[in-house]
């Protein structure tokens, strides 16, 4: 997946963690070194900020703005794409963040459906997305589905039907669900200038076979270098190598799920692998228990070293 000349997003994007101080305040000073780590050590060429992994729904709008600004600033000239997630429960907050993302030079915005008052139809969801997109009329727009978290199960294929008539800036989907029927139908309907990006890292290979243009995920923070090898192997038709790497990722994620995988555990793993001081997660997410962190990092090294 060579970078496309037309700005189309391809390859691997890391869904970044939000660095906090030990006291739980946003810690902007880590973002510069974090970008360098992703580029130099993980070979990651894009970032997806303030998403699920970044605990966006636990951040204030003001925090999301300073974070987005710092990520864009530090990623400039280093990352091929910086996508800022701007979805909120309130349309007004989402529009505010969308306008802000345009001002700070983000390469695109993504929006998750509101999940307290859930849209009851594809139409309602499309109208919400449209109103957010209109606040940043020049920015590439991505719909982000993550049904396990939102409880919103509107088929994405229904959301994207003739979507450019509503949202001329529509450029793709970040698909963090395991419904490969819906995913395949999105790829099959996708336009040449769209990117259909997959977000369930432990089954990326299946999505690549189905035609994914790229991947956005939390584990690319610390396994990006291996997943780049998986993608290259897939592209050269070496499915044996691609599967070997995918199975290693499944072994780690499967192990973490058994222990209780959440953003606290995931963030701890990233801190241990990268050495970056990312701080604790924010309540209600709890910090990773020290015994779990030890076991998971041992597992990581036993699989990848």
> Are 52 and 15 in contact, with CB atoms under 8 Å apart?
yes
Catalytic residue flag (residue 198): no
- Catalogue the long-range contacts made by 234-241 (C-beta closer than 8 Å, 24 or more residues apart): 234/205, 234/208, 234/209, 235/1
CB count, 10 Å around CB of 115? 16
Catalytic residue flag (residue 165): no
* Distance between CA atoms of residues 51 and 30, nearest Å: 17
Is the omega angle on the peptide bond into residue 37 within 30 degrees of 0, that is, cis? no
Q: Is 217 one of the binding residues for ligand MN9 (CB under 6 A)? A: yes
* CB-nearer residue toward ligand MN9: 94 or 218: 218
Q: List Cβ neighbours of 18 (8 Å cut-off, separation of 6 or more).
A: 26, 50, 54, 55, 56, 59, 67, 278, 282
Q: Is 200 one of the binding residues for ligand MN9 (CB under 6 A)? A: yes
* DSSP code, position 299: H
Question: Which listed residue (163, 202, 222, 223) binds ligand MN9 by CB under 6 A?
Answer: 202
Q: For 271-286, b where at least 16 C-beta lie within 10 A, e where not — what string?
A: bbbbebebbbbbeebe
Site string for ligand CC(=O)C(=O)O, 119-158 (x = CB under 6 A): ----------------------------------------
| Dihedral sign from CA coordinates of 210, 216, 217, 219 | positive
Question: Does the annotation list 53 as a binding residue?
Answer: yes
Question: Which listed residue (38, 86, 112, 146) binds ligand MN9 by CB under 6 A?
Answer: 146
The strand pair at 11-15 and 46-49 is best described as parallel
> Are 12 and 225 in contact, with CB atoms under 8 Å apart?
no
* DSSP code, position 23: T
> Are 261 and 221 in contact, with CB atoms under 8 Å apart?
no
Question: Does the annotation list 244 as a binding residue?
Answer: no
Pick the catalytic residue from 34, 142, 143, 144.
144
Pick the catalytic residue from 45, 65, 74, 174.
174
Lookup: tokens for 198: 């997959």
Q: Is 199 one of the binding residues for ligand CC(=O)C(=O)O (CB under 6 A)? A: yes
Q: Is 219 one of the binding residues for ligand MN9 (CB under 6 A)? A: yes
Question: Which listed residue (19, 51, 108, 147) binds ligand CC(=O)C(=O)O by CB under 6 A?
Answer: 51
* CB-nearer residue toward ligand CC(=O)C(=O)O: 161 or 265: 265
Residues 53-72 that bind ligand CC(=O)C(=O)O (CB under 6 A): 53
* Distance between CA atoms of residues 116 and 234, nearest Å: 39
Residues 156-185 that bind ligand CC(=O)C(=O)O (CB under 6 A): 176
Residue 269's binding partner among ligand MN9, ligand CC(=O)C(=O)O, none (Cβ under 5 to 8 angstroms by kind) is none
Q: Is 11 one of the binding residues for ligand CC(=O)C(=O)O (CB under 6 A)? A: no
Q: Which residue is nearest to ligand CC(=O)C(=O)O (CB)?
A: 51
Least distance to ligand CC(=O)C(=O)O, CB of residue 278, Å: 14
Site string for ligand MN9, 44-83 (x = CB under 6 A): --------xx------------------------------
The set of catalytic residues is 144, 174
What is the binding site for ligand MN9 (CB under 6 A)? 15, 52-53, 146, 176, 199-202, 217-219, 253
Residue set of the binding site: 53, 216
């Amino acid at each position: 997946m060579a970078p496309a000349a037309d700005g189309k997003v391809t390859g691997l994007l890391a869904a970044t963690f939000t660095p906090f101080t030990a006291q739980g305040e946003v810690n902007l000073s880590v973002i510069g070194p974090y970008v360098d780590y992703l580029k130099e050590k993980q070979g990651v060429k894009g970032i997806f900020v303030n998403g699920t992994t970044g605990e966006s729904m636990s951040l204030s709008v003001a925090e999301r703005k300073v974070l987005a600004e710092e990520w864009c600033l530090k990623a400039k000239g280093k990352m091929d794409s910086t996508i800022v997630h701007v979805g909120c429960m309130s349309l007004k907050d989402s529009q505010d963040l969308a306008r802000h993302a345009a001002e700070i030079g983000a390469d695109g915005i993504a929006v998750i459906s509101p999940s307290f008052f859930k849209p009851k139809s594809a139409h309602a969801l499309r109208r919400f997305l449209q109103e957010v997109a209109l606040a940043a009329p020049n920015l590439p727009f991505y719909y982000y589905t993550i049904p396990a978290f939102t409880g919103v199960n509107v088929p994405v294929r229904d959301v994207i039907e003739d979507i450019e008539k509503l949202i001329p800036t529509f450029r793709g989907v970040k698909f963090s669900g395991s419904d490969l029927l819906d995913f395949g139908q999105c790829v099959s309907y996708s336009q040449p200038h769209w990117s259909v990006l997959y977000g369930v890292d432990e089954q990326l290979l299946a999505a690549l076979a189905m035609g994914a243009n790229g991947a956005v995920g939390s584990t690319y923070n610390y396994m990006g270098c291996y997943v780049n090898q998986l993608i290259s192997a897939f592209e050269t038709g070496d499915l044996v190598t691609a599967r070997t790497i995918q199975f290693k990722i499944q072994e780690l994620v499967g192990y973490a799920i058994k222990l209780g995988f959440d953003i606290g555990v995931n963030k701890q793993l990233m801190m241990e692998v990268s050495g970056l001081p990312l701080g604790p997660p924010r309540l209600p997410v709890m910090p990773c228990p020290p015994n779990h962190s030890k076991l998971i990092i041992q597992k990581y090294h036993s699989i990848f070293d």
